[in-house]
Amino acid sequence: MAAESAIKMKGTHLQRVAALKETRPYSPCRAACPVNTDVQAYVGLIAQGRYNEAFEVIRSVNPVASVCSLICHHPCERACRRCSIDEPLAVRPLKRFALEQASEYRRDRRALVEKTRDRSIGIIGSGPAGLTAANDLADLGYKVTVYDRHPALGGMLVSAIPAYRLPREALKEDIDDVIAKGVEVKTNCEIGRDISMKELSEKHDAILIAVGLSLSRSLNIPGVEGPGVMLAIPFLEDVAFDRKPDLGKKVLVIGGGNVAMDVARSARRLGVKNVEMVCLEGPDEMPAWKWEVEEATEEDIKIHHRWGPKSVVREGAKVKGLEVVKVLSVFDSERRFSPTFDQNQTTVIGADTIIITIGQMANVSFLKDTQVRIDDRGRVVWDPKTQMTGAKGVFVSGEVVTGPGAAIQAAASGHRSALAIHLYLQGESIEGKLPTYEKEKISDMPADVASKIGREPRMKLRHLPPKVRCESFVQFESGYDEKTALTEAGRCRGCGGGAVVDAKKCMACLTCQRVCPYGAPVVSAWSEIRPEFCQACGLCAPECPGQAISMVSYDVREIRDTMASIVGAVEPKRPDPVIVAFLCMRHMGTSGFSLPDNVRKVPVHCTSRIDIIDILKAFECGADGVAVVRCSTETCKYKGIEDRVSARVDRAKQLIGMLGMEAGRLEIMNSDSGAENPYSGVCAGFSGKIKQMGLRTNK
């Protein structure tokens, strides 16, 4: 309950920050996310050890957060501005870490949402689009029922994503978040078999079709029909629901996409030692993610590049292999898929089982004889501006209409569909009111700024050795421990969380321009701080004489406004002095959050953000001593801030001296980076000095 109360206390601040951010260009990582997850915000909270709050930021826009923390293709990382410096921030692993740390809080917060609206919605499919829409509509007070043909919720997440990538326990966390709100669930319920669309329309005020792409495409080549040839989705469903197929001693997978990788790697885990793949593309043309290919190769899966399937070779009914033809090119001059072949170059790749993974399509047979139109290619006809089909009250979402994509992209579609349904049921127009996720973003980091940022290696994830991980479907990727996660979170540059000037308060005094180490402010009639230059160190805000500068990522007044609760009640007969320690959390690690009981810690992303008023407030609230503990010059995240911080501490010393206190009650120190706990010893030593000096008498 204490954690929950703390979050409620900071709720207003988080809302203010969120509102301010919407007026500013997004950080590139946030802009790249299909649902605009505020990466900078939750990574900053992780760095402070505020994991429950990080969870709230993540979950606020992403109902399939645990899924994405494990299988997301992380476009946020490819957009990270650290790419021009060293390596991108490990966003996906940090998300996983935060969710795992907040698991108890997450479960405790689950609660039934009151059904305040006398309307009901039926959702066909419980993949990421369906779950997201169910979540949003339940939050809006609607009665929601989810129908799924599988024995478990999750759609393709549970039926086609192997457990070694997506453990079912993690998927269950996302599902439990949604159904705890009062969403009704009907599994093993296939529309068109167990209940008709007509019956659904009579039962519900609106219907959402979110069935995904549940059918595999096959090949029109000789010998493809018959035993020994399988399709990807049925094979993966057999694996997911423990129906182990007989594969023989050698499996050949046709295709080079991510599904093909899942199929091949699953076959290895079913005990097949000899698994090979054949694809049209060369190594640099494969549609599968690079890391998936690398991991498959580590597992001794051989890939035959630039060969196309010509016929299945059989001996009687039994598969003997696949005849393939040499590929000359995969794309035409305009990069359209248009493979060409050399029919004079053929060979046979031996196999006992062939699994075809060349694409997927939606199963919309249940829409036959309904008002929902299907085009000549078997696709649902819909209006992207309203998410509606041609049938009244029937909406559509996810891959069934958008085509193959990532789970987080389907979630974005689910958000749009939920709002569209809400507007429809309220009798409002839809067009122009649905969320768009294309946002203005901060431009690339200028070269002169990038040159001032220290190079730091990305914290690596550990994988089980290939031989070990191929023996079972146990999750092969280990998450970060706390020390590693905090170190990695510290690499974030805080893009988008920097300084903003209130032109009405700005006196154009040039102070911010003089103190900024990165040349972010440009002053004319008033100061403007360029977000592409700003590194969110916070040095300028305390220096501004007109208090015209605020920070997007935090409230500059937060420390002083919460200092009374930080210090707490000061006992007159206390055995040890009350110490307030402002700690640069850059190198805190796990142990950095563990300090002597008499030390009240105030973690800050950098000591550059500490105002003289913050220091004085600590004394006003009863502190016997105040320590400002920073990292060393060599390891400081922000170069060029040391002199300014020291000057502030010196000025605060003068002020407490004028108030009749010893200047020694305030001290600036460096953390002991060589110690197991870089802050504990420093704070303990300072506490000892204050104890010798004597406790303050607070009147």
DSSP states of 581-618: EEEEGGG-TTGGG---TTEEEEEES-GGG--HHHHHHH
- Structure confidence at residue 84 (pLDDT): 92
The answer as to whether 387 is a domain residue is no
In 3D space, the residue among 62, 86, 259 whose CA is nearest the CA of residue 159 turns out to be: 259
Q: What is the mean pLDDT of the chain?
A: 93
Q: Is the pLDDT of residue 340 over 80?
A: yes
pTM: 0.92
- Structure confidence at residue 671 (pLDDT): 82
- Interatomic CA distance for residues 415 and 139, integer angstroms: 12
What is the CATH number for 633?
3.40.50
Based on the fold, state whether residues 195 and 69 are members of the same structural domain: yes
Tokens 């590929």 locate to 327
Based on the fold, state whether residues 527 and 577 are members of the same structural domain: no
- Cβ contact 684:693 at 8 Å: no
pLDDT in tens, 628-687: 999 887 788 898 899 999 999 999 999 999 999 999 999 999 887 666 777 888 899 999
Based on the fold, state whether residues 179 and 96 are members of the same structural domain: yes
Based on the fold, state whether residues 678 and 567 are members of the same structural domain: yes
What is the arithmetic mean of pLDDT over 561-565?
96
The answer as to whether 249 is a domain residue is yes
Final residue before a domain boundary, out of 386, 409, 425: 425
What residue numbers bound the domain in which 235 lies? 216-360
Based on the fold, state whether residues 78 and 195 are members of the same structural domain: yes
- Structure confidence at residue 673 (pLDDT): 66
What is the arithmetic mean of pLDDT over 101-125?
97
Which one has a higher pLDDT value, 20 or 356? 356
Based on the fold, state whether residues 55 and 75 are members of the same structural domain: yes
The answer as to whether 233 is a domain residue is yes
The answer as to whether 661 is a domain residue is yes
The answer as to whether 480 is a domain residue is no
Final residue before a domain boundary, out of 309, 340, 360: 360
The answer as to whether 448 is a domain residue is no
Percent of the chain surpassing pLDDT 70: 96
Q: Is the pLDDT of residue 3 over 50?
A: no
pLDDT in tens, 576-617: 999 999 998 876 655 556 788 999 999 899 999 999 999 999
Q: Is the pLDDT of residue 229 over 60?
A: yes
The answer as to whether 504 is a domain residue is yes
- Structure confidence at residue 587 (pLDDT): 60
pLDDT band at 433 (very low <50, low <70, confident <90, very high): very high
Which one has a higher pLDDT value, 553 or 13? 553
Based on the fold, state whether residues 636 and 509 are members of the same structural domain: no
Q: How many domains does the chain have?
A: 4
Based on the fold, state whether residues 224 and 191 are members of the same structural domain: no
Amino acid at residue number 361: M
Final residue before a domain boundary, out of 508, 524, 551: 551
In degrees and rounded to multiples of 5, residue 233 shows phi and psi of -65, -45
Angle of helix 232-240 relative to helix 258-269, nearest 10 degrees, comes to: 50
Based on the fold, state whether residues 569 and 522 are members of the same structural domain: no
**Pick from 422-436, 457-471, 487-501, 589-603: least confident:** 589-603
The answer as to whether 190 is a domain residue is yes
**Pick from 110-124, 386-400, 486-500: least confident:** 486-500
95 Cβ contact list (under 8 Å, min separation 6): 42, 58, 65, 68, 69, 72
Based on the fold, state whether residues 295 and 271 are members of the same structural domain: yes
What is the arithmetic mean of pLDDT over 133-151?
98
What is the CATH number for 90?
3.40.50.720
Q: Is the pLDDT of residue 286 over 80?
A: yes
Based on the fold, state whether residues 162 and 140 are members of the same structural domain: yes
Based on the fold, state whether residues 21 and 143 are members of the same structural domain: yes
Q: Is the pLDDT of residue 450 over 50?
A: yes
